[in-house]
């Protein structure tokens, strides 16, 4: 792009555009990044610089950029029927086909899907479904919801209440009443001297104490991301997720797996719920369902829940674009692409283990205090030159470190004092090498100050 065009765009951006999750004053000081095009795992920015997208957009462009099959499926569907709703007694072929396809892929009891436009809406839909379900069963007393600290479940009033991050609550006087946050299996943040497994067990005990303190008969559900993503890539120790699931069963609480990031191959399986045998009652999906080509959220419910809802008559919930045919066509083409190119196996056997090897190889780098990862997701918790003791609370060194990575040609995400990565699933070993050498150069520069 010509410099004058970039300057005009930045000026218009400053004048008219409010960005999500952005400190605008800070951004306008340094200038907006305008990403212009993408191909495979790379994007090209306003200066013509090619950047390896180590975050897959926002943990979502699983098949990489420029996937012809999705573009063609969208074009064909738009030409035939760009939009028709699924309200009342109508629907469209792609929405039907996609719901059938999801039932085939998902854990056994999840066969019905309610579509929406985002992960937040998928969780909002789960919350309303749970309310309706208990009301129909005459159990309205069950209204409280448990999620975890550092959880990220979205930004609508209720999904933000599920989210366990203070910055998503403070400005909005959230969480709403009835939302409780149990500890997350994140011993590094808490500076705990327990090992990871003992800390995980302690988290489960605390969660059980919370359930008992609040009276189990008043609790409706536990929501959990199998690996907490935006909260800092928090990977639980072995046994923790199964114990959390078991806790829900013990007290008859519904268990909701938020697979907005973990779904569609990131961990080397279609879903983390299958990988870790979580047998959720509800699973929420978005992002990788279309590889981000078009917006979609999905809430899959168990046969038991579906039967109660279906018997209950009219379900007055839904979005104009629930099951949007063009978006559903994009999702179907995306799922076909993942299957045809064996991307699940590619992550499980090939690039996932290699990515982890390269990630853990940075464990002894002087800028790295902690390493976490699984499959094609990972985080490096950073420490400054003076070591962990030199960290200034709320200084968020992950952000400048992510900026250095970008200068070195790799996009990662700064989260508090960590940098996080989740590249497109189509990444190769050679590209993983390129990615980690860029990150390592950035970490060296970060330490040098």
Residues at the interface with ligand PLP (CB under 6 A): 118-120, 123, 152-154, 225, 229-230, 258, 260-261, 286
CB of 57 to ligand PLP, least distance (A): 11
Identity of the residue, 159 or 326, whose beta carbon is nearer to ligand PLP in the bound complex: 159
d(CA 274, CA 371): 25
d(CA 266, CA 423): 9
> What is the per-residue DSSP string for 40-99?
BTEEEETTS-EEEETTHHHHT-TT-B--HHHHHHHHHHHHHHS-----TT---HHHHHHH
CB of 32 to ligand PLP, least distance (A): 20
Give me 163's structure tokens. Answer: 């989210």
Nearest to 282 by CA among 259, 266, 262: 259
> In the chain, helix, strand, coil percent, each to 5?
45, 15, 40
Give me 186's structure tokens. Answer: 């994140």
Residue nearest to ligand PLP (CB): 119
Identity of the residue, 256 or 380, whose beta carbon is nearer to ligand PLP in the bound complex: 256
Identity of the residue, 347 or 391, whose beta carbon is nearer to ligand PLP in the bound complex: 347
Give me 339's structure tokens. Answer: 């299957």
CB of 155 to ligand PLP, least distance (A): 6
Identity of the residue, 183 or 369, whose beta carbon is nearer to ligand PLP in the bound complex: 183
Identity of the residue, 229 or 352, whose beta carbon is nearer to ligand PLP in the bound complex: 229
> What is the per-residue DSSP string for 144-193?
EEEEETT----SSHHHHHH---GGGTGGGT-SPTTEEEEPPS-TTTTT--
CB of 18 to ligand PLP, least distance (A): 16
CB of 141 to ligand PLP, least distance (A): 27
CB of 419 to ligand PLP, least distance (A): 16
Identity of the residue, 148 or 358, whose beta carbon is nearer to ligand PLP in the bound complex: 148
Q: What angle do CA 326, 327, 329 make, to 5 degrees?
A: 65
Identity of the residue, 256 or 308, whose beta carbon is nearer to ligand PLP in the bound complex: 256
- Give the total residue count for the chain: 449
Burial class (CB in 10 A: 0-12, 13-18, 19+), 79: exposed
Identity of the residue, 123 or 207, whose beta carbon is nearer to ligand PLP in the bound complex: 123
Give me 20's structure tokens. Answer: 């999500």
Q: Could you tell me which residues are beta bridge partners of residue 421?
A: 378
d(CA 176, CA 384): 37
Identity of the residue, 60 or 338, whose beta carbon is nearer to ligand PLP in the bound complex: 60
CB of 163 to ligand PLP, least distance (A): 8
CB of 244 to ligand PLP, least distance (A): 15
Identity of the residue, 70 or 368, whose beta carbon is nearer to ligand PLP in the bound complex: 70
Edge-to-edge strand list for the sheet holding 297-302: 110-116, 297-302, 282-285, 254-258, 219-224, 144-148, 179-182
CB of 318 to ligand PLP, least distance (A): 17
CB of 58 to ligand PLP, least distance (A): 6
Q: How far does Cα 187 stand from its chain's mean position?
A: 21
């Amino acid at each position: 792009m010509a410099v004058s065009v970039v300057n005009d765009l930045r000026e218009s951006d400053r004048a008219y555009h409010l960005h999500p999750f952005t400190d605008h004053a800070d951004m306008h000081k340094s200038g907006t990044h305008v990403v212009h095009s993408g191909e495979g795992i790379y994007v090209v920015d306003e200066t013509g610089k090619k950047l390896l997208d180590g975050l897959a957009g926002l943990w979502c462009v699983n098949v990489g950029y420029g996937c012809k099959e999705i573009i063609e499926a969208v074009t064909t569907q738009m030409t035939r029927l760009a939009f028709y709703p699924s309200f009342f007694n109508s629907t469209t072929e792609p929405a039907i086909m996609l719901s059938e396809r999801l039932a085939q892929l998902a854990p056994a009891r999840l066969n019905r899907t309610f579509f929406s436009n985002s992960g937040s809406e998928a969780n909002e839909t789960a919350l309303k479904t749970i309310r309706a379900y208990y009301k129909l069963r005459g159990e309205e007393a069950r209204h409280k919801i448990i999620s975890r600290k550092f959880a990220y479940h979205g930004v609508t009033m209720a999904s933000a209440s599920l989210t366990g991050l203070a910055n998503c609550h403070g400005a909005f006087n959230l969480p709403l009443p009835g939302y409780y946050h149990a500890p997350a299996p994140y011993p590094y943040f808490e500076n705990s001297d327990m090992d990871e497994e003992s800390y995980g067990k302690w988290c489960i005990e605390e969660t059980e104490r919370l359930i008992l303190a609040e009276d189990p008969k008043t609790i409706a559900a536990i929501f959990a991301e199998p690996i907490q993503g935006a909260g800092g890539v928090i990977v639980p120790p072995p046994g923790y997720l199964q114990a959390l699931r078991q806790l829900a069963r013990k007290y008859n609480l519904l268990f909701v797996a938020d697979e907005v990031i973990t779904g569609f191959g990131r961990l080397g399986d279609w879903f983390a719920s299958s990988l870790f045998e979580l047998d959720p009652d509800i699973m929420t999906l978005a992002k990788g369902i279309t590889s981000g080509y078009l917006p979609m959220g999905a809430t899959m419910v168990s046969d038991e829940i579906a039967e109660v809802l279906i018997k209950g008559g009219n379900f007055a919930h839904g979005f104009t674009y629930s099951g949007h045919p063009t978006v559903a066509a994009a999702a179907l083409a995306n799922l076909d692409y993942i299957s045809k190119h064996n991307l699940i196996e590619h992550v499980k056997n090939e690039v996932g283990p290699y990515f982890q090897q390269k990630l853990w190889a940075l464990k002894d780098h002087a800028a790295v205090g902690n390493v976490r990862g699984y499959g094609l997701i990972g985080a490096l918790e950073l420490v400054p030159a003076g070591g962990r003791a030199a960290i200034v609370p709320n200084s968020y060194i992950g952000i400048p470190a992510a900026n250095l990575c970008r200068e070195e040609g790799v996009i990662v995400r700064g989260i508090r004092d960590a940098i996080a990565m989740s590249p497109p699933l189509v990444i190769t070993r050679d590209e993983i090498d390129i990615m980690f050498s860029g990150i390592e150069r950035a970490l060296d520069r970060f330490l040098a100050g």
